[in-house]
Amino acid sequence: MNGCVDNAIDKWFSETEVAFKEIHTANPVDFLCSSVTAVAHNYCFAVLSLLNKGHKLPAMALLRVLAELAFRLIWCLYTDNPQKESREVRIKRWLKRGFLERKKYVQRMIESNMCSGEEVNGFKRELGELEQNIGQIPYEPIGNFYNSLSDLPEPYKRDLYPLLYNICNWGIHPDFLLLTRLVKQDAESNIVVSDTDEDPVVLKIYCLTMAFNIIAVVRLNYEWDYNTIKTEYLKIKKDFSKEQKA
């Protein structure tokens, strides 16, 4: 099952990346789809590499990032949204959020005592550019991540979000509750700190699900073959379910 998941994910991304070689436009949708495909492939490779080496908690951190990227992509490409916004408008709303977040960071750096005079001047120049870019986008920035999922069909927020996002929170925000669960004692009562008890194969299935959702919406956007990867995805999940019951 391990190798099957790894190979399927790599094949889906690699084949989709080859298809993008025939796309030669500067359209924001093309830029979004091609870049998310490449970035998600990189994240999936890192997740699988970590899991293959037994590093489950760091893999969960990357899975959380991957989940957010998947949902943002779906949000941008979902045209049957309540606001009836185009994909281009939604991409610009996401871009504006990025500009605003970067502006906050730049302002903090200017106000801090950690930068040299030359560095401060560089941040001031960047701040001016950011303000200009923000002013050129007439749309409101994308809102709260969780609330924005209400714009998508119900199963995304009700079913997929808890599966792909919440379960991996500990990887990004380890708290004391998590730390207490990682501490155990051996036969001599020595304290031993371990990794999370999550099944690495289950985490790979989560990675597979995120990869499938990203590749699926990208392929559907271009009307590329989608049924093949859907069949492969459902077969792997079915085989995994049989193994779990055995």
For every residue of 163-224, DSSP letters joined together read HHTGGGHHHHS--HHHHHHHEEE-TT--EEE------HHHHHHHHHHHHHHHHHHHHHHHT-
Domain spans in the chain, listed from the N-terminal domain onward: 2-78+152-245, 83-148
Q: What is the three-class DSSP state of 78?
A: coil
Task: Return d(Cα 60, Cα 207) in angstroms, integer.
Answer: 9
Mean pLDDT of 152-178: 84
Summarize pLDDT for 70-97 with one digit per residue, the tens. Answer: 999 999 999 999 999 999 999 999 999 9
Asked whether 128 and 110 are in contact (CB, 8 A), the reply is no
* Average confidence (pLDDT) over 165-172: 82
Query: Residue 246: pLDDT above 80?
Result: no
Q: Give the number of other CB atoms < 10 A from CB of residue 55.
A: 15
Start-to-end Cα distance in the chain: 14
220-237, pLDDT tens digit by residue? 999 999 999 999 999 999
What integer pLDDT is reported at residue 144 of this predicted model? 87
Res. 163: pLDDT tops 80:
no
pLDDT of residue 190: 61
Single pTM value for the model: 0.90
Tens digit of each residue's pLDDT (9 = 90 or more) over 185-203: 666 666 667 788 889 999 9
Confidence grade of residue 2 (pLDDT, cut at 50, 70, 90):
low
pLDDT tier at 162 (50, 70, 90 boundaries)?
confident
Residue 180 has what pLDDT? 82
Residues 103-151: pLDDT tens digits? 999 999 999 888 888 889 999 999 999 999 999 999 999 988 888 888 9
